[in-house]
């Protein structure tokens, strides 16, 4: 496949990522059950009337996309591709509640119209007046990765020059309580910065939006290049190790050629143990860091991992919260992201310094 370059990357999550605060300052600590969006000032992107009509996930998703284009120095794109697992959850819940409370009578269609999964991509297109290729993937924890794969295929087939690809997911109180009962989240609040010391079941709930300007042409200021993506569903530990080795073989590299592993450990004792075993078996001597204590657990959190990896390569430094790892960021040119969601959805994204 043709080399795909990340021209710019933008992210809004629980940390100060929008203005690169995670790399210049200390990480934000939370003890809430749901890590909130660290929302930026929207006055540079929307007027007050537009903001009133936007839900939280649409507001953050569109702003992230617009900032991504601004950083890339372009005004429009040839395609807009997004991924989401939950969609516009807040509006979906509001519509369902109105059905019950109003006994299915005289329902306002507004909440229904604003509850569709493709609303973020559609709103980006309306804002940019872009009438070209536009699609949304809703493949649970593989949603963001499928958006990336679609973009890479379009660029490789030269059907587009610049593509905006990303994801957006939000967490509501109602959804949180449902997922907590299923064991996805911890029963008691914990500090996100001490998440990996809890040694209990479940993780902390997160939410986030991340968008990337992808191109098939290399420019001097590109962040990194995407070399490969691999998705594996429902595999046991031994099979995962073999699948990783096959993926590395396809990329024509060995485990020791990778400079950094970014893992999706989430504080769940059982899942983290399995991921630790995999990393020890396959990447025994490769430095590694985790990211979900910063953004929380949500299906498309791998977009935050990609934002983090691209900035590490571009800036040649690590956020201050990883200083105890004693990793020399100056020598990081190849990064592999390994995410696991609910012990079933395994994804690998391999990026490297542009060449």
- Cα gap 141→137, rounded to integer Å: 10
Stronger pLDDT, 88 or 168, i.e. the higher one: 168
- Statement: residue 113 has pLDDT above 80: no
Residue 100 confidence (pLDDT): 85
- What burial class does residue 111 get, using C-beta atoms within 10 Å of its C-beta: 0-12 exposed, 13-18 middle, 19+ buried? buried
pLDDT digits (tens, 9 = 90+) for 11-37: 999 999 998 889 999 999 999 999 999
| Cβ 223 vs Cβ 311: under 8 Å | yes
pLDDT digits (tens, 9 = 90+) for 270-279: 999 999 999 9
Q: Which CATH architecture does the domain made up of 228-352 adopt? A: 3-Layer(aba) Sandwich (3.40)
- Cα gap 16→40, rounded to integer Å: 9
The helix/strand/coil state of 41 is coil
Residue 237 confidence (pLDDT): 60
Query: Which residues partner with 352 through β-bridges?
Result: 225, 334
Stronger pLDDT, 32 or 239, i.e. the higher one: 32
Between the alpha carbon of residue 23 and those of residues 117, 195, 211, 314, 322, the distances in Å are: 32, 20, 18, 12, 10
pLDDT digits (tens, 9 = 90+) for 130-159: 999 999 999 999 999 999 999 999 999 999
Residue 43 confidence (pLDDT): 87
CA angle in degrees (0–180, nearest 5) for 83-86-91 = 115
Pick from 89-93, 116-120, 332-336: least confident: 89-93
User: What are the φ and ψ backbone dihedral angles of 87, each rounded to 5 degrees?
Assistant: 70, -150
- Statement: residue 77 has pLDDT above 70: yes
Residue 108 confidence (pLDDT): 77
Question: Which pTM does this prediction carry?
Answer: 0.95
Residue 287 confidence (pLDDT): 96
- Cα gap 293→79, rounded to integer Å: 32
**What is 4-215's CATH number, 3.40.47.10, 3.30.56.10, 1.10.1370.10, 3.40.1160.10?**
3.40.47.10
* pLDDT (mean) for 330-340: 97
Going from N- to C-terminal start, the domains of the chain cover 4-215, 228-352
* pLDDT (mean) for 73-100: 90
* pLDDT (mean) for 163-186: 95
Looking at every residue in the chain, the average pLDDT score rounds to 93
Residue 238 confidence (pLDDT): 64
User: What are the φ and ψ backbone dihedral angles of 128, each rounded to 5 degrees?
Assistant: -85, -10
Whether 228-352 and 4-215 are alike in CATH topology: the answer is yes
**Model confidence band, residue 115 (pLDDT cutoffs 50, 70, 90):** confident
């Amino acid at each position: 496949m043709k080399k795909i370059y990340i021209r710019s990357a933008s992210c809004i999550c629980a940390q100060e990522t929008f203005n690169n605060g995670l790399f210049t300052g200390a990480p934000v600590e939370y003890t809430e059950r749901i890590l909130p969006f660290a929302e930026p000032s929207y006055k540079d992107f929307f007027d007050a009337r537009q903001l009133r009509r936007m839900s939280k996930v649409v507001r953050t998703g569109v702003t992230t996309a617009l900032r991504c284009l601004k950083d890339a120095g372009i005004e429009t794109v040839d395609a807009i591709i997004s991924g989401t697992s939950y969609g516009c959850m807040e509006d979906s819940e509001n519509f369902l509640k109105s059905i019950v409370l109003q006994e299915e009578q005289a329902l306002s269609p507004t909440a229904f119209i604003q509850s569709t999964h493709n609303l973020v991509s559609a709103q980006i297109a309306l804002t940019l007046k872009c009438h070209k290729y536009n699609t949304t993937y809703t493949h649970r924890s593989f949603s963001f990765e499928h958006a990336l794969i679609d973009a890479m295929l379009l660029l490789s087939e030269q059907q587009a020059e610049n593509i905006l690809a990303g994801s957006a997911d939000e967490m509501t109180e109602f959804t949180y309580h449902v997922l907590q009962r299923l064991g996805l989240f911890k029963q008691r609040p914990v500090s996100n910065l001490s998440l990996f010391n809890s040694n209990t079941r479940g993780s902390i709930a997160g939410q986030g939006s991340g968008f990337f300007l992808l191109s098939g042409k290399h420019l001097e200021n590109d962040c990194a290049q995407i070399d490969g993506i691999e998705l594996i569903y429902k595999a046991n530990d031994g099979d995962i190790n073999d699948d990783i080795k096959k993926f590395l073989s396809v990329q024509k590299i060995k485990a020791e050629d990778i400079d950094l592993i970014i893992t999706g450990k989430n504080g769940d004792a059982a899942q983290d143990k399995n991921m630790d075993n995999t990393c020890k078996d396959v990447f025994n001597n490769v430095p590694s860091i985790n990211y979900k204590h910063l953004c929380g657990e949500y299906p498309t959190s791998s977009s935050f991992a990609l934002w983090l990896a691209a900035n590490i390569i571009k800036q040649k430094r690590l956020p201050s919260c990883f200083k105890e790892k004693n990793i020399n960021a100056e020598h990081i040119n190849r990064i592999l992201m390994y995410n696991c969601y609910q012990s079933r959805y395994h994804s690998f994204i391999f990026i490297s310094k542009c060449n």
